[in-house]
Amino acid sequence: MRQVVGKPSRERRGRARRAIGLTGIAALLPIVLAGCSLDDAFYLGWPRTRPTSQSEQMFDLWIGSTVAALAVGVIVWGLTFWCIAAYKKKDSDTELPRQTKYNLPAELTFTALPFVLIGILFYYTVIVQDNVTEMSDEPTSCTNVTAFKWNWQFTYSDEQCEPLVGADGQPVTETGDSDYIPIIVVPNQEDVRFVGNAEDVIHSFWVPDLLFKRDLIPGSDAQTTRWEVDFESEGTFVGRCAELCGAYHAFMNFEMRVVSPEDYETFVNARVEGMTTPEALELIGQAPYATTTHPFDTDQATGEAS
């Protein structure tokens, strides 16, 4: 006797429509909640401005690995949903599908491919990491960075990282406090070196647009952190402490100004001659005070930003 297969019931069709609708909402929800424009979405949360060659390389590595991961995900999701649709049990099916214990070609393929992908990612990661951590024999400029609870001090130095001495016989420094955001000025050149340490606890020198941070650790010279960057554009960038260091960690802000080599030379000479940072900045046509962030009220009684 021939089996009559009926049409899907109205209830089943309704469940299918609800499932499709919920799937669509779930797919759109991350995009809506992210609050990003279409242009920002393609940057995957990374800053648009990347002033150094190192940041550009790290951005390319991140985008490349993300695209590769999404491609793998799309393939896996596609195969998964294809299997769900192709091998779904139908009302007319009276027997179990053929059972397969193993599939040697498939197992070899899905074992080898991940190793190939990991090898490629590892190779490019090592290349970028080596470029980011590379140090030159002769830096074009050097600045000593000292972090303390809860602010920053920048000491301008010569190419050998020896502090420059001002007209008063003291090192040329820029020190922040609760009412003043310190500004570090660097030249738009390659091989710009920083030498960092901390006075008390672990802090972290972080300029988000540079796309990496450097931990500053208290202790002997063996704990001193040294790094270099190759600037490719001028600009003004906010800086933060990226290591939880105490009650006022969130207020440890600074600003980085990347200026032309000529303006940098003029600025440093003005500081050596006795000018303050705001005065020297105005001399080279820069805003005298920080523009990317502002001092915060550190009164624990109010706990509010100024």
Range with lowest mean pLDDT among 1-5, 9-13, 241-245, 249-253: 1-5
Bridge pairing between strands 192-198 and 225-229: antiparallel
Residue-averaged pLDDT of the chain: 85
Q: In the chain, what is the straight-line distance between the N-terminal and C-terminal CA atoms, in Å?
A: 85
> What pLDDT sits at residue 3?
47
> What pLDDT sits at residue 174?
95
In this predicted model, what pLDDT tens digit does every residue of 279-306 receive, in sequence order? 999 999 999 999 998 887 766 555 454 4
Bridge pairing between strands 141-148 and 192-198: parallel
CATH architecture for the domain at 141-283: Sandwich (2.60)
Distance CA 206, CA 78 (A): 40
Count other Cβ atoms within 10 Å, centred on residue 188.
Answer: 19
The domain locations on the chain are 15-45, 47-88+102-134, 141-283
Percentage of the chain with pLDDT > 70? 80
> What pLDDT sits at residue 2?
47
